Structure 1
Amino acid sequence: MTHRPQIRVPATYMRGGTSKGVFFRLEDLPEAARAPGPARDALLLRVIGSPDPYQKQIDGMGGATSSTSKTVILSKSDSPDHDVDYLFGQVAIDAPVVDWSGNCGNLSAAVGPFAISNGLVDDARLPRNGVAEVRIWQANIGKTIIARVPITDGAVQEAGDFELDGVTFPAAEVPVEFMDPADGEGAMFPTGRVVDELEVPGVGTLPATLINAGIPTIFVNAADIGYTGTELQEAINGDAAALARFEAIRAHGAVRMGLIGHADEATSRQHTPKVAFVAPPADYPASSGRTIEAGEVDLLVRALSMGKLHHAMMGTAAVAISVAAAVPGTLVNLAAGGGERTAVRFGHPSGTLRVGAEARQVDGQWTATKAIMSRSARVLMEGWVRVPDGTV
């Protein structure tokens, strides 16, 4: 009986924020996978362990959640204004799909440390001790991200005392700025309104804020869909009917945002848009067991990623939250009490997060100049990932 040997591909397994993913240098990929297309997708699917009808990704590096079924490809940038080009692939768990339609804000915090450690940033730009400013070109959406990475004795500092709800252990803080965070080339509010009436067959007509910032996101009020905004994962992820309603909202919101032509097309675009629901502050127990008190936060937000309620908050959705909160009249802004604001602290299932943004009107259109949040990152494993020969 013939057998296929395995091939080794240099890779690094990293945590960034509340996500984990497999990181590659473009030059280390098999030649056929260095360009976009079926060969690249096939490699990444096999690395992660998808598609898996059991939805466990046992035979791969994925962790069977939207937060852990992720891949990153990095290369030295040809642009004099950037150090590294960053491409993100969200790998579906039970389907043969790698979604390239958006960014991962959490893993963005790991891009700078990886780039420095792997020789993708010029030595002249790196201090012996201090903070290195890594200029990242986010290739999925064509935007600039600035990561400020602590350096100690010429190496990336990973240990520290910065605590991030949703991550068990403290680490070094990595502030991340998302410049001009409106996603894509269209308007930040694609319908031209900060609140729309979104008609969703089988669900009803809901007030919704549809925004392109960080990642295309659909915000609805928790109360309008029967929730309080204090829910944890188990309240939603085991409810098939609830997940179907959220997917219907996501699909019809995507059509309204001009991302797809028909709601049926949403099945092939799982990563974007996101759908989230908001509520005013309230006490609730976080997934860690700690009680979050209403006075600690400006609003509550719960968001779904890849069809399930996220255990904390996606980084790109946090950008959308920060920008929407900065625009008077959006559902996010109203849940936070309304008015003008440049920062909010919101409650999510794992705890709280503070985010900031600058937004202004130009010729009657809202635009955002940047959004800011802090994350942390750490190398978990490095070496080679193996896949059967013939995968690519």
Structure 2
Amino acid sequence: MTHKPQIKIAATYMRGGTSKGVFFRLDDLPAAAQKPGAARDALLLRVIGSPDPYGKHTDGMGGATSSTSKTVILSQSSQPEHDVDYLFGQVAIDKPFIDWSGNCGNLTSAVGSFAVSAGLVDPSRVPENGTAVVRIWQANIKKTIIAHVPIANGQVQETGDFELDGVTFPAAEVPIEFVDPADGEGAMFPTGHLVDDLDVPGVGTFKATLINAGIPTIFVNAADIGYTGTELQEAINEDAKALAMFETIRAYGAVKMGLISDIKEAEARQHTPKIAFVAPPASYTSSSGKQIAANEIDLLVRALSMGKLHHAMMGTAAVAIGTAAAIPGTLVNVAAGGGERSFVNFGHPSGTLRVGAEATQKDGTWVVEKAIMSRSARVLMEGWVRIPEPSK
């Protein structure tokens, strides 16, 4: 039997924040994959190596975790006053499924760098030395993000001394502004309340803050579900009962937020909403062995992504944390000590992260104009990715 040779597609493998993903220019994809649909999904699934019943992604570019099973498609922006359109796909590991329902905040930090290097930004907007301000249109959630990309000798500067907990080596700092971060077109607090009573059959009824900012997120108090907030990955991810509980809470929270109409629909919406638990500051040892003192942080946060406790913190969830912390009365704000604040420094499994947000009330409704945090990014490999030619 004669088999067709593999096809090759121009691609760049990048780290952005604490995530990695395969980046494509839209024009470099095969014609059938340049538009949304089954052909695009099938191609990207094969690139990553999903679905993989072994959970290893041995035959693809994925890393078999929610942080490393990601794809990005970029093109010159179709929106006025923007440089690049950014579309993100979260690839399931063991299912033939790509979730296009939300953004990846970590990979956002690599979008500006890629856009400059790939010629997607007008050269007149890129200084010889200094900072390129890249205006990103986040196509999944239809929001503006501003990346401040360092430039040296006309090229993106990737090396530096900025350290990010959850990333092994230092790199150049990339400040990111998430403009009007309420996710999608709905209200920031879809139920109209800063805190709700969330009734989860088989688990219990407890307080929850349900917020659309950066990404739809469900915040609960750690103590209400039997945790301290100092847990590392193995405490959650090696406990099947705990993972099932979190997924049940997430499903019922999604219904209450109006994201789905029935809890069964949560299986097809793995990327959103996120679920996180918060607690007041406490000392702990991070996953790298670094000692985190209670007086160094404002609160503790642990978040799950794609059904597992994240090794650090998703960038979009960090936006939700910063936004909720800036609004007095949310569970995040209360865990941080209450009151008004424009920045919060929180502890996560890999260390700490600082994120800021400015919140104001307009006509009785909370509004956050932007959330701010710093990440780093660099190219890991560039050239072509090869896959078997998709079936017609």
Same fold (TM over 0.5): yes
1:111 matched to 2:137? The reply is no
The aligned residue for residue 72 of structure 1 is 72
Q: Describe the superposition over 1:58-91 as per-residue Cα deviations: whole angstroms up to 9, x where unpaired.
A: 1100000000000000000133310000000000
Q: Describe the superposition over 1:235-271 as per-residue Cα deviations: whole angstroms up to 9, x where unpaired.
A: 0001000000000000000000000000010000000
The aligned residue for residue 222 of structure 1 is 222
The aligned residue for residue 304 of structure 2 is 304
Does the 8 Å CA contact 2:42/2:390 hold for their aligned counterparts? no
Distance in 2, matches of 1:80 and 1:252, equals 38
Q: Residue 359 of structure 1 aligns to a residue in which SS?
A: strand
1:270 matched to 2:299? The reply is no
Distance in 2, matches of 1:7 and 1:206, equals 52
Distance in 2, matches of 1:44 and 1:55, equals 17
* Aligned alpha-carbon RMSD (Å): 0.6
Does the 8 Å CA contact 1:4/1:390 hold for their aligned counterparts? no
Does the 8 Å CA contact 1:42/1:391 hold for their aligned counterparts? no
Distance in 2, matches of 1:253 and 1:2, equals 51
Counterparts in 2 of 1:1-392, with a 5 A limit? 1-391=1-391
Q: Match for 2:185: what amino acid?
A: E
The aligned length equals: 392
Q: Residue 320 of structure 1 aligns to a residue in which SS?
A: helix
Q: Describe the superposition over 1:83-128 as per-residue Cα deviations: whole angstroms up to 9, x where unpaired.
A: 0000000000000100000000000000000000000000010100
Q: Match for 1:47: what amino acid?
A: V
Q: Match for 2:221: what amino acid?
A: N
Does the 8 Å CA contact 2:342/2:358 hold for their aligned counterparts? yes
Q: What is the deviation of 1:367? A: 1.4
Q: Describe the superposition over 1:187-232 as per-residue Cα deviations: whole angstroms up to 9, x where unpaired.
A: 1000000000000011000100000000000000000000000000
Does the 8 Å CA contact 1:43/1:391 hold for their aligned counterparts? no
Q: What is the deviation of 1:391? A: 4.7
User: Which consecutive residues of structure 2, in runs of 5 or more, have no partner in the other structure?
Assistant: none
Distance in 2, matches of 1:256 and 1:306, equals 19
Distance in 2, matches of 1:182 and 1:390, equals 38
Structure-2-length-normalised TM-score: 0.99
Q: What is the deviation of 1:45? A: 0.3
Q: What is the deviation of 1:303? A: 0.0
Q: Residue 177 of structure 2 aligns to a residue in which SS?
A: strand
Q: Describe the superposition over 1:292-348 as per-residue Cα deviations: whole angstroms up to 9, x where unpaired.
A: 000000000000000000000000000000000000000000000000000000000
Does the 8 Å CA contact 2:191/2:257 hold for their aligned counterparts? yes
Q: Residue 267 of structure 1 aligns to a residue in which SS?
A: helix
Does the 8 Å CA contact 2:323/2:359 hold for their aligned counterparts? yes
Distance in 1, matches of 2:177 and 2:115, equals 17
Distance in 1, matches of 2:187 and 2:115, equals 32
Distance in 1, matches of 2:328 and 2:32, equals 49
Q: Residue 242 of structure 1 aligns to a residue in which SS?
A: helix
Distance in 2, matches of 1:176 and 1:390, equals 37
Q: Residue 51 of structure 1 aligns to a residue in which SS?
A: coil
Q: Residue 244 of structure 2 aligns to a residue in which SS?
A: helix
Q: Match for 2:245: what amino acid?
A: R
Does the 8 Å CA contact 1:46/1:391 hold for their aligned counterparts? no
Q: Describe the superposition over 1:12-44 as per-residue Cα deviations: whole angstroms up to 9, x where unpaired.
A: 000000000000000000000000000000000
Distance in 2, matches of 1:358 and 1:34, equals 38
Q: What is the deviation of 1:2? A: 2.1
Distance in 2, matches of 1:79 and 1:306, equals 31
Distance in 1, matches of 2:2 and 2:222, equals 57
Percent of paired sites with the same residue: 79
Q: Residue 248 of structure 1 aligns to a residue in which SS?
A: helix
Q: Which moved more, 1:357-366 or 1:202-211?
A: 357-366
Q: Residue 209 of structure 1 aligns to a residue in which SS?
A: strand
User: Which consecutive residues of structure 1, in runs of 5 or more, have no partner in the other structure?
Assistant: none
Distance in 2, matches of 1:239 and 1:80, equals 48
Distance in 2, matches of 1:163 and 1:327, equals 28
Q: Residue 164 of structure 1 aligns to a residue in which SS?
A: coil
Q: Residue 261 of structure 1 aligns to a residue in which SS?
A: coil
Q: Describe the superposition over 1:168-190 as per-residue Cα deviations: whole angstroms up to 9, x where unpaired.
A: 00000000000000001111000
Q: What is the deviation of 1:364? A: 1.2
Q: What is the deviation of 1:361? A: 1.2
Q: Match for 2:4: what amino acid?
A: R
